[in-house]
Chains A and B, each alone.
Chain A
Amino acid sequence: MTDATRTHDAGEPGPVVTTPPEEGGAKHAHAHPSEWEYVKIALVLAAITLAEVLIYYVESLGNLLNYILIAMSLVKFALVVLWFMHLRFDSRLFRRLFVTGLVLALFVYTIVLSTFHIFTR
């Protein structure tokens, strides 16, 4: 975050620009997906969705089905968050804000549902 030890000429006026926006800069050669890459990701999302629906009808999987479906949705989730929402390329701060909420939700609701014995019914 901010540069705590930055020295500042006492006479220097005006706003001090701190660290430049992390999205910019030539060093991020792969920083920004091209439109075509976005389309490719969308195709992957569509494919996974199709696979989810097809697998849904496979009876022989039993309980395994649920885990596979959850895994697939996690992949879709990650693709949208990391690429479409640009979280992969953006400042870590955004990731922390979002992940905190996400992890907290998973944590507390898993515990609540456990007390209702939902996982052992």
Chain B
Amino acid sequence: MANVTHSVTEGSHHELQPAHPPTSTGLSNEKVAMWAFLGSECLLFGALISVYLLYKNQSLQGTISPIDVYDIPYTSVSSFVLLMSSLTMVLALAAIQRGDHRRLRVWLLATALLGATFVGGQVYEFTIFIREGLKLDTNLFGSSFYALTGFHGAHVTLGVLMLLSLFSLSLKGRLPTERAETVELVGLYWHFVDIVWIVIFTLVYLIK
């Protein structure tokens, strides 16, 4: 349906959401769970990032080091793509909250495509690196680089799968406005994956 409103008046999207079963905090269980999970993920990526920082210049074998392989302009385009996917994600949420399911699907698909582009870009980047001689088993740098970015890429991939699932659910009419929170939860996961990349981009690629 054509929905022309772009700004969300305060509280209006909340009227569309029925009350959850009463909870002690008034917040939804799923949202509390997601934030708890994201807190946990900080420890996960923190470990991987720390291992990378420790090892990136400590390799005793294999002559390849970061400066040899990184293509900063390429990776920055990739980063830009992922950042923009956060925008499209938040626009998707805004769309379903005001009942605009057409736009929801547009933005969901856009987010998924941007995410897939990011992953594709990473895969391509990896093939270049491998051709240049950097593999998981080459040296410390290789191991820690692929572990960190691989984990992140896997998270993005799972996110893309979730986004596409939401898209197809919406197409089948199984994602009504009352279930906007589901989009919100996937969105939280998606943004988290984005902020991890913000940290990775700086600490892995840019810091010398």
Contact = CB atoms under 8 A, between A and B. Distances in A.
- Touching in the complex, A and B, CB below 8 A? yes
B32 interface: yes
A104 B191 CA distance: 20
A74 to B, nearest CB: 9
Interface in A18-58: 18-26, 28-29, 31-32, 34-36, 38-39, 41-42, 45-46, 49-50, 52-53, 56
A21 B203 CA distance: 38
B208 interface: yes
A2 B32 CA distance: 15
A69 B47 contact: no
B201 interface: yes
Interface string B187-208: 1100110110011011100111
Interface stretch (B21-29, B133-141, B165-173): B21-29
B161 interface: no
Contacts of B116: none
Contact of A93 (B14, B32, B54): B32
Nearest to A109: B50
Interface string A45-81: 1100110110010000000011001101100110011
Contacts of B35: 93-94, 97-98
B27 A104 contact: no
A94 B199 CA distance: 21
B202 A72 contact: yes
A10 interface: no
B63 interface: no
Nearest to A98: B39
Nearest to A102: B42
B7 interface: yes
B43 A52 contact: no
B8 interface: yes
A-side interface size class: 35 or more
A32 B50 contact: no
26 contacts: A21-B14, A22-B27, A28-B10, A34-B6, A35-B91, A38-B90, A46-B80, A49-B76, A52-B76, A66-B207, A69-B207, A73-B202, A76-B198, A84-B191, A85-B187, A85-B188, A93-B25, A93-B32, A94-B32, A101-B40, A101-B43, A105-B42, A106-B46, A109-B47, A109-B50, A113-B53
Task: In the A-B complex, list the 3 residue pairs whose CB atoms are closest, starting with the nearest.
Answer: A101-B39, A105-B46, A42-B87
Interface of B: 6-8, 10-11, 13-14, 19, 21-27, 31-32, 35-36, 38-43, 45-47, 49-50, 53-54, 72-73, 76, 79-80, 83-84, 86-87, 89-91, 94, 187-188, 191-192, 194-195, 198-199, 201-203, 206-208
Given A45-B86, A46-B83, A85-B188, 20 more contacts: A17-B26, A19-B25, A26-B10, A29-B10, A39-B87, A49-B79, A49-B80, A50-B76, A53-B73, A69-B206, A69-B207, A73-B199, A77-B195, A81-B195, A84-B89, A97-B35, A104-B43, A105-B46, A113-B50, A113-B54
